[in-house]
Structure 1
Amino acid sequence: MNEELYNFLLGKIFYFCQLPSYTKWGIWSFEPDGKIKGMHSDFEQTWKIENGRLLILDSQGHVTCIFEGQIEKMQKSHLLRPGMEHFQVALIATDLIGYDYFDSLCPIENDLVAACMETGSVANEKLRQLLLEDKTIDGYYAGRAYAVKRKDLEIGLKQYKGVFYDLELSQNQPDFFTKKLLVWFPGLLSYNHGNARENFFPNPFEGITGSIAKNTVVLRIADSNLINGSYYLNTPNFRDYEQNIQELIAKTAEEEGILRENILCAGSSRGGMGALYHGLLGNYALVSMDPVVDRSPWLQSADVQLMFDCIPVSFVDKLNQLLEKTNLSAEKIQVITSPQVPITYPFIIQLKTWKLALKTYRMKLADEQFDYQPYGGKMHGDFVNRNIPLLLMKINEFLYGCDSIENTIDEKTL
């Protein structure tokens, strides 16, 4: 056991994180001479293995952490320094993308990402291979990006078969309303953060329960794939992603005793695509705000979202196939958009619009000449962000509709 753990530790990079937030305190490598080489570490430390356990020692030889070793990942520990015993920490193995994989040294995060976007470059090909190995980026330090096995990510979320999610139950709420499930698919505010959670789960709509019908369970599903998600679609590295999302929704509904007709999928932008696709796939009612159903605007100058050829450029055909087969009425498929948004509207209207309730709004948005994203991304963002009340209204129409009664008036009572 000691030899196995010793060989596992050498030649790898580890995150040293505080729990439960997984805040990265440092990045360590274990040297054969017993020293710990650390980035962002303020302490001189050494290491040794005893009885299958990894011991971390300070400069005085005092044990500060004890980790129970596991191949692939390290266990958690409490700090043993005086006065810091309440801190729980974790040591997590990663893989490293170093300078040698890039055409030139990349001293800052944005330059490193730009190198990866250059089709055919060494960095681009290396990153694509890592994605096919089901790894993602979680951290940029000292000109290096750190690749972690996606299934081993520690980002403070629950996980079901590789799908990361958060579940907010309807606690201490009276049950005079029918119990409902809102499945929220977060959008993509920006991309290529050093933090995988920010890429997968950037807009969880925290606090939404205060603005929607009571007795509603909220299931938030992170787009847990590639680097910036995959629009909740299968990829070569995650071939059962869609199925696992569907299973998670069904599992949550069953455990909470919620009927299918009381489930709503919702989201905007990337999340709008997730809500639209998975609502149709599972025959769930949906509200989709300005969904991205074609990626071509994001591919004009470079593959800025770093999705390579892992998913189609256009999702229109996939969506139309589902629309053709759906049992949902058009009013259960609410899609909100605006002709003033050039990167989404021309593609949305390529859908079988007679099979859905397309709600279009005329908005005064930012002039294109002031749009810092040449493909029109700011107008898309403006439309989504300025119309959160509209999205909430549509969500609540469905949630309250689960308990609505058609009013009938007996003429004899008039």
Structure 2
Amino acid sequence: MKDSILWTTAQAGPDNIAAAVSDNEGLPRYFRVQTETSMDPKRDLMKIALSDVRAKSLLLTLTNLGYSLYFHAAGESRFIRHDRLRHHWPAVKSGAVSVSENEIFYTFEEPPSGRVERLVVVFSPVSSRARLVRYFRRSFGTLQKFIAPHTAVLRVADMGGVKGAFYLDTTALPHNSLNIHRLIEDVAGRFAVPREKVVIYGASKGGTGAVYHGLAGGWRSVAVDPILSDEWYETYKKDYHFTAGDVFPAPKQEVFSELFAEISRETNSLRPGTVIITSSRSPQFSYTFDAIAPLRERITVFDSQNTEIRKHPDVAPKTIYAQVMAINSLLLGLDLPVGQRLIP
């Protein structure tokens, strides 16, 4: 590698990237992307890419090479190579955020008692900020106040992809889900927390991860209006999550179809305590309901009828009471009804 920084422009698209990397004799630590003077200098490359085909192609190319947008100002979007994140991110350097040996970023909150007997793993929802914190949006920040005593909280960042990897594998991070699995195992093992006292929790994108890791890893889980298909956002929201363009080895609908089918064939192996809190008023409901069909009568689905729910982001804040109930029930080993149940 000759230079640690390479420059390009949004309008140039991805055409010059391969040649620039070759001439540089390797991937630089950083890419800096200048937007054209005709573009709003306050709009980062993610925002520009929603309506500009070449800018989107450039963004996806950099993402698949393992770069993340970490800063934007004055018409310049800056990208950093994944393996440099731990050396660059101020929260990591200050010790506020920890990094596993497999490059998974996380925080750990001990319970007030100092005794760790249970563990809640929190996955983050989507954020669109042109900062690294978009991968680690804090979800339910006051959770510690409402869960059973002696319960620690492990918050896991969702690095990879443009707006996160949804805690799945990506082209650039093909072992991402396994590394997340290892982190949870390691933290639970450190405090001798048994598997049945671990609950994975998340809303939206975090809910995607909660469903996947709960079922694939054999942990209890509470997922709030999870996104189990890419179709709606790709069709109606201009691919708002940037899931197209080979960023992921397979679309979510395929990932979950295979996972649910595999588990449904294992007669006695359904992992205990899978809870999905959703609403038939959310545009994600039909996708979720269809996706879980093979397991619908073997997991718990709470369908909120709250008339204040009008869109997907409304589900989480309007169902907090059900989330707390479900998390604590699973932590304490209390039975929840399987199948679909209507809730307020």
Same fold (TM over 0.5): yes
Report how far residue 114 of structure 1 moved: 3.8
Is residue 2:116 matched to residue 1:181? Answer: no
Q: 1:310 aligns with which of 247, 251, 263?
A: 247
Q: Deviations over 1:152-208 (max 9, x none)?
A: 2215221221221111123534x5xx80111111112x42x11121x2111243231
Contact 1:298 1:305 in 2 (8 A): yes
Mapping for residues 81-100 of structure 1, pairs under 5 Å:
94-99=30-35
Report how far residue 317 of structure 1 moved: 0.9
Q: Deviations over 1:88-136 (max 9, x none)?
A: xxxxx6321123xx6x6423333743432246x3212211111111001
User: In the alignment, which residue of structure 1 is the partner of 2:55?
Assistant: 123
Q: Which residue identity lines up with residue 238 of structure 2 in the other structure?
A: A
Q: 1:106 aligns with which of 34, 39, 42?
A: 39
Q: Which residue identity lines up with residue 269 of structure 1 in the other structure?
A: S
- Mapped partners of 1:219, 1:269: distance in 2: 18
User: In the alignment, which residue of structure 1 is the partner of 2:162?
Assistant: 227
Q: 1:166 aligns with which of 107, 124, 133?
A: 107
Would you identify which runs of 4 or more consecutive aligned residues in structure 1 move more than 6 Å? none
* 385 and 285 in structure 1: CA distance in 2 versus 1, 3 angstrom threshold: same
* 330 and 278 in structure 1: CA distance in 2 versus 1, 3 angstrom threshold: closer
Aligned residue for 1:392, secondary structure, equals: helix
User: In the alignment, which residue of structure 1 is the partner of 2:80?
Assistant: 148
Q: 1:392 aligns with which of 314, 319, 324?
A: 324
Q: 1:214 aligns with which of 109, 133, 149?
A: 149
User: In the alignment, which residue of structure 1 is the partner of 2:306?
Assistant: 363
Runs of 5+ in structure 2 lacking a partner? 8-26, 92-96, 336-344
Q: Which residue identity lines up with residue 222 of structure 2 in the other structure?
A: V
Identity level (%): 22
The root-mean-square deviation of aligned C-alpha atoms, in Å, is 2.7
Aligned residue for 2:257, secondary structure, equals: helix
* 240 and 155 in structure 1: CA distance in 2 versus 1, 3 angstrom threshold: farther
Q: Which has the higher helix share?
A: 2
- Mapped partners of 1:227, 1:209: distance in 2: 30
Q: Please identify the structure whose Cα radius of gyration is greater.
A: 1
Runs of 5+ in structure 1 lacking a partner? 14-71, 74-92, 368-378, 405-414
- Mapped partners of 2:277, 2:309: distance in 1: 19
Q: Which residue identity lines up with residue 306 of structure 2 in the other structure?
A: M
* 346 and 195 in structure 1: CA distance in 2 versus 1, 3 angstrom threshold: same
User: In the alignment, which residue of structure 2 is the partner of 1:321?
Assistant: 261
Alignment TM-score, normalising by the size of structure 2: 0.78
Mapping for residues 265-280 of structure 1, pairs under 5 Å:
265-280=200-215
Higher relative contact order (CA 8 A, sep 6+): 2
- Mapped partners of 1:270, 1:155: distance in 2: 24
Alignment TM-score, normalising by the size of structure 1: 0.66
Report how far residue 330 of structure 1 moved: 7.1
Is residue 2:143 matched to residue 1:247? Answer: no
* 259 and 303 in structure 1: CA distance in 2 versus 1, 3 angstrom threshold: same
- Mapped partners of 1:114, 1:169: distance in 2: 38
Aligned residue for 1:267, secondary structure, equals: strand
- Mapped partners of 1:366, 1:338: distance in 2: 8
Is residue 2:269 matched to residue 1:340? Answer: no
Q: Which has the higher strand share?
A: 1
Count of matched residue pairs: 298
- Mapped partners of 1:98, 1:201: distance in 2: 26
User: In the alignment, which residue of structure 2 is the partner of 1:57?
Assistant: none
